[in-house]
Amino acid sequence: METSPLARPFPVMPAIDGAVPRVARAQYKTWDRCDLTYVEMAEGTSVAGVFTRNVCCSSEVELGREQIKLGRARALVVNAGNSNAFTGYRGREAVEQIMAQVAGHIGCEPSDVFVSSTGVIGVPLPKDKAEAGVANALTADPCDWEAAAETIGTTDTFAKGATASAMIGDTRVEFSAIIKGSGMIAPDMATMLGYIFTDAKVSPGFLQQCLSAANEATFSCITVDSDTSTSDTVLAFATGKAGNAELTGPDSPGADAFAAAIHDVCRQLAHLVVRDGEGAQKFIEIAVSGAISDDSARRVGLAIANSPLVKTAIAGEDANWGRVVMAVGKAGEPADRDRLSIGFGGTWAAKDGLPLADYDEAPVAAHLRGQDIRIDVDLGMGDGRATVWTCDLTHGYISINADYRT
């Protein structure tokens, strides 16, 4: 698979004290690459998570939802090549086997071991391959984040990482994060597995609060094709090794900086997933204002972002604001044709329900020939606003998904 034209180079990412990645070969598929990622974490590591809302979720997601209630983590295992979804009790047994194997090695509770799997649906994760793969990983040399990002990938065309830092009092804390995902991306997340590691000391409750808030404005605001995977997961791990005074809530000194850094990392990760959207040639930002609420604005934004007619218009570099009108109208949110304004790249094409008489298409046409597209929509109803991100819909998407055989 060719690298996406919207790819970003892998950033220089700091090691995180108390979180050590390793990769190994489980050979879940017949391929010449590592496909099992293992990250061991220090005692005292807090964890938070957000998961797919797809009701047909995998055992990994079912178990993970229970595990984060305990707030503790010591290890993460990510299997690539087999999602283990729709595999019933046999799939669940494979996950429990991995948890027990790692817990035995570290000397922790099985519930401290988080497992994710991504790949083909409906084939139980083979226990023998998982066992051998985990054994390989436990004794492998530590690797860098880029190797880990490559190993969790499946149909990804480039490795995805993001980093940030924050000052908590006098203490600098670091964030290193990796993600995989390209197709089947929609709010409520998708075939998307993301992991954020920080050396900050944070209570599980506040870590969850920060991650959930960031998720609402980042992962829940991206869509590639409106589909929602059965396995999506974003986990945040905080090892506490930086030695800052523990953050326990929004009033802790430094809590704002920490929350902002998590948000920043999540936004970077979310954008990278869109940039690897199957067949994507253009990155599209849709800013909706004037809605009756922020939630309403987001739903309108996603209706536009999920409209095949809007996405193909952008692929064709066509400032077809009529299709945007249509998408606004079908969102089911309060809107009024006669107050609606639509612009591309900072130039309004229609204002208050009418095409602009002096609309200059030249700057819009130039903007649409670029790779980063901006659509502005003002509903003229209230103060609600939201920004969502998607990519265009191209022949590449059809080729990838019509030619991919189970």
Residue from 43, 336, 372, 383 touching a copy of itself (CB under 8 A): that is 336
Question: Quick check: 292 binds a copy of itself (CB under 8 A)?
Answer: no
With binding defined as CB under 8 A, does residue 320 bind a copy of itself?
yes
The least CB distance from residue 293 to a copy of itself, in Å, is 16
Among 321, 344, 348, 389, binds a copy of itself (CB under 8 A): 321
Q: Please tell me whether residue 127 binds a copy of itself under the rule CB under 8 A.
A: no
What is residue 194's three-state secondary structure? strand
Site size toward a copy of itself (CB under 8 A) is 66
Cα separation values, 113 from 91, 97, 201, Å: 16, 11, 19
Is residue 71 within 8 A of residue 246, CB to CB? The reply is no
Q: Is the CB of 62 or the CB of 128 nearer to a copy of itself?
A: 62
Cβ neighbours, 10 Å, residue 402: 8
Site for a copy of itself in 72-91 (CB under 8 A): 85-88
Are the C-beta atoms of residues 329 and 335 closer than 8 Å to each other? yes
**Distance (Å, whole) CA 193 – CA 318:** 33
Q: How far is the CB of 5 from a copy of itself (least distance, A)?
A: 16
d(CA 90, CA 136): 23
Which structure tokens are listed for 131? 């066992």
Please tell me what DSSP assigns to residue 202: B
The backbone torsions φ and ψ at residue 215, rounded to the nearest 5 degrees and listed phi first, read -55, -45
* Other C-beta atoms lying within 10 Å of the C-beta of residue 306: 22
313 binds a copy of itself (CB under 8 A): yes
Nearest CA among 324, 269, 267, 319 for reference residue 300: 324
Looking at beta carbons only, is 120 or 140 nearer to a copy of itself?
Answer: 120
Of residues 6 and 314, the one with the C-beta less far from a copy of itself: 314
Give me the 218-257 binding string for a copy of itself, x by CB under 8 A, dash otherwise: -------xxxxxx---------------------------
Measured between its terminal Cα atoms, the distance across the chain in Å is: 17
52 is in an annotated binding site: no
Provide the token pair at 375.
């659509």
Q: Which of helix, strand or coil describes residue 145? A: helix
Cα 309 to Cα 111, 182, 324, 365, 372, distances in angstroms: 46, 20, 9, 18, 18
- Does 53 engage in binding with a copy of itself (CB under 8 A)? yes
- Minimum CB separation of residue 143 from a copy of itself in Å reads 31
CB of 300: closest distance to a copy of itself in angstroms? Answer: 11
Q: Which is nearer to a copy of itself, 13 or 57 (by Cβ)?
A: 57
Contacts of 354 by beta carbon, 8 Å cutoff, 6+ apart: none
Q: Which two tokens stand for residue 278?
A: 């199957």
Contact call for residues 341 and 350 (beta carbons, < 8 A): yes
Task: Based on the shown chain and the rule CB under 8 A, indicate whether residue 335 belongs to the binding site for a copy of itself.
Answer: yes
Can you tell me which of 12, 31, 43, 56 binds a copy of itself, judged by CB under 8 A?
56
Query: Choosing from 191, 228, 230, 390, which is the catalytic residue?
Result: 191
Q: Is 401 annotated as a binding residue?
A: yes
Instruction: Confirm or deny that 129 is annotated as ligand binding.
Output: no
Q: Is 154 annotated as a binding residue?
A: yes
Q: Is 394 in the site for a copy of itself (CB under 8 A)?
A: yes
Closest CA to 188 of 141, 233, 121, 138: 233
CB of 334 to a copy of itself, least distance (A): 8
Query: Does the annotation place 201 within a ligand binding site?
Result: no
Instruction: Report whether 406 belongs to an annotated binding site.
Output: yes
Using CB under 8 A, pick the residue from 125, 350, 368, 388 that binds a copy of itself: 350
Considering only CA atoms, which of 245, 249, 237 is closest in space to residue 168? 245
Q: Does 318 bind a copy of itself (CB under 8 A)?
A: yes
Q: Which is nearer to a copy of itself, 150 or 392 (CB)?
A: 392
Residue 72 is classified by DSSP as B
Q: Quick check: is 191 catalytic?
A: yes
Instruction: Single out the residue of 73, 113, 119, 71 nearest to residue 96, CA to CA.
Output: 113
Where in the sequence numbering do the catalytic residues fall? 191
Contacting positions for a copy of itself (CB under 8 A): 53-57, 85-88, 120-123, 183-184, 186, 188, 225-230, 306-309, 312-313, 315-316, 318-323, 325-330, 332, 334-338, 340, 350, 353-355, 393-395, 397-399, 401-406
**Which residues fall in the annotated binding site?**
154, 180, 191, 278, 401, 406
**Which residues fall in the annotated binding site for substrate?**
154, 180, 191, 278, 401, 406
